[in-house]
Structure 1
Amino acid sequence: MNDPYLVTVEEELFQWRKKLIKKSNMLQRVSKKAQTKVNEMIPEKAHSVITESIKKMVQATLVGSEYTTKGNYPNGMTLQVKEKLIEDKLTVYRRTAAAEGAGTGAGGFLLSLADFPLLLSIKMKFLFDVAAIHGFDTKKYEERLFLLYVFQLAFSSDEQKKKTFEIIENWEEKKQKLVELDWKVFQQEYRDYIDFVKMLQLLPGVGAVVGAYANCNLLDHLGEVAKNCYRIRILRSEKGRML
């Protein structure tokens, strides 16, 4: 591997893997208990909206045209160029998510509820752009399924992360056996991951600040996971062609 950028990528991937599979720290485990208390303060209507939003997002991702990107990117771009484009896209999506989170958070309970499907849509559109920049055809069912596994890897518990990461890391072999995603597990993992911070957005007085901050951080986290998932696919594909 002569390209200095690819050497750096390999090292970053190694460090990211270690961080990904490391057990949650004490603060994160304690926050889970606090999260349960916050959830009890939120009306059932909110929980219903969140669950239904996630279900519809999964269905739209797998069979719909809602998230299909129209971007046409030239063939032959280096990984470094692709990742710069993705970084630029992420900056745009972060601004959109922050503005949307602040606006809905400041608007009270009903507008805060609207944040959940809106943020899901922003996240999925970003992932479709990432796939398109890397040259993967998101009209194919398997590519849409891959995006959902990337999403799940970003927003799930320690135990589920390990299972999902194994699928991502061995995608070419695993995809042959995968028919569809278990959306109930998907939505529960997502909710458990984001509930503590995002549910605070529904509470009076702190909604706008929490909304903007949380949305930015959630997009940043998704961007890091997506970048590294595609790095794994691309590097494995390149090595496979060299063998």
Structure 2
Amino acid sequence: MKLLDYDKKTLLEIHAWKNPQRGWLDKAIDVVNKPLNAAGEAVLSTPVVGDAIQKAAEGLISVCNDAAQWSVRSEAVFEEFRSDGHNHIEQHSDIKTLRLEDIDKTVGWLAAKYKGIALAEGAGAGVAGIAGLAVDIPTLITLNLRAIGEYATYYGFDIAKQEERLFAYNILAFSSSPTDMSKNLAMAQLIKISQQVAKNQAWKQLEQHTFVQIIRQIASTLGIRLTKAKLAQAIPMTGAIVGGGFNAYFTSKVCEAAYYLYRERFLAELYGASIIEETVKPAKTYEPDYPDAFEGELME
């Protein structure tokens, strides 16, 4: 099938997003972040922060294991398509009959909605400092899982399926990655799942204990990463600003990743898995191995 002009342009945008050109601002941010990251590492070892991480990780694992907490009302999305004139949309598979250009119009300013919610939530939790992290981080992840689930539904993917839940968790891992290495590991997982689904291969259902273990590892790593990133909330008078600002920033990255990756997957099902841009080679297994995580399980 010949690529439509809009689809061709979209693929170029996706490829550019996956392979960004690092400018002087990116390098300057890296220089600024190094001492902040070192300070974060030191604070992480204190009993107060350690307890906050433990509670945050517990909350994250609970959120990630309970799909009902972040499920999307698919019918509301289908109704939105019908309101835009696509009267035949009754289920996920019907969305695959639309043009990407039409779907993008219906999606509209979805990211702005979630960034606004994240900003308000983060500002409120930021006032509580470190103690607020145990509530703030699981709430932030719940919000972003719902955002990912909504993007998935708009582009015709059923977030209730195991492969889609795993894809969603890896979007979070990718968006929270502090290094190129951890970002590449998450992208490798995303590419693996994208290609397998696009090739219409029968999904290899993971055993429940393996699936739970993967979710625990991702949740624990997220707890560490987000705690380090939000430690500035503990500083009096700046917590609300940093808390709200970081939550909006993180949510922006998650929505951006979901927007590009689900559009790529939509086009891959239309034109074939070969169009999926391999920034890195697909992962060999579904089990992540993050270099920035603590040794062992936080929950043990």
Aligned length: 239
Read off the aligned partner of 1:185 and give its amino acid letter: Q
Report the CA distance shift for 1:85/1:198 in structure 2 as closer, same or farther (over 3 A).
farther
**1:196, distance to aligned residue in structure 2 (A):** 3.2
Contact 2:60/2:223 (<8 A) preserved: no
| Aligned position for 1:58 | 64
**1:188, distance to aligned residue in structure 2 (A):** 4.3
Contact 1:109/1:203 (<8 A) preserved: no
Q: Select 2:135's aligned residue among 114, 117, 124.
A: 114
Q: Which moved more, 1:69-78 or 1:173-182?
A: 173-182
SS state of the match for residue 204, structure 1? coil
Read off the aligned partner of 1:162 and give its amino acid letter: N
Q: Alignment identity in percent?
A: 21
**1:44, distance to aligned residue in structure 2 (A):** 2.8
Distance 1:20 1:85 in 2: 30
Distance 2:16 2:34 in 1: 22
Provide Cα deviations, 1:128-158, integer angstroms capped at 9, x if missing partner: 1111111112222222222112222222343
Provide Cα deviations, 1:214-236, integer angstroms capped at 9, x if missing partner: 11100110011111221231222
RMSD of aligned alpha carbons = 3.1
Contact 1:113/1:202 (<8 A) preserved: no
| Aligned position for 1:238 | 270
Contact 2:53/2:224 (<8 A) preserved: no
**1:199, distance to aligned residue in structure 2 (A):** 1.9
Asked whether 1:94 is paired with 2:115, we answer yes
Read off the aligned partner of 2:70 and give its amino acid letter: Y
Distance 1:215 1:235 in 2: 30
SS state of the match for residue 19, structure 1? coil
| Aligned position for 2:54 | 48
Structure 2 gaps, min length 5: 79-88, 90-94, 275-300
| Aligned position for 2:182 | 160
Report the CA distance shift for 1:214/1:234 in structure 2 as closer, same or farther (over 3 A).
same
Distance 2:125 2:68 in 1: 26
Q: Tell me the TM-score normalized by structure 1.
A: 0.83
Structure 1 gaps, min length 5: none
Asked whether 1:131 is paired with 2:152, we answer yes
Asked whether 1:213 is paired with 2:245, we answer yes
Q: Tell me the TM-score normalized by structure 2.
A: 0.69
Q: Which moved more, 1:173-182 or 1:125-134?
A: 173-182
CA radius of gyration, larger in: 2
Contact 2:175/2:254 (<8 A) preserved: yes
Distance 2:253 2:273 in 1: 31
**1:177, distance to aligned residue in structure 2 (A):** 4.9
| Aligned position for 1:183 | 215
**1:8, distance to aligned residue in structure 2 (A):** 2.1
* Larger helix percent: 1
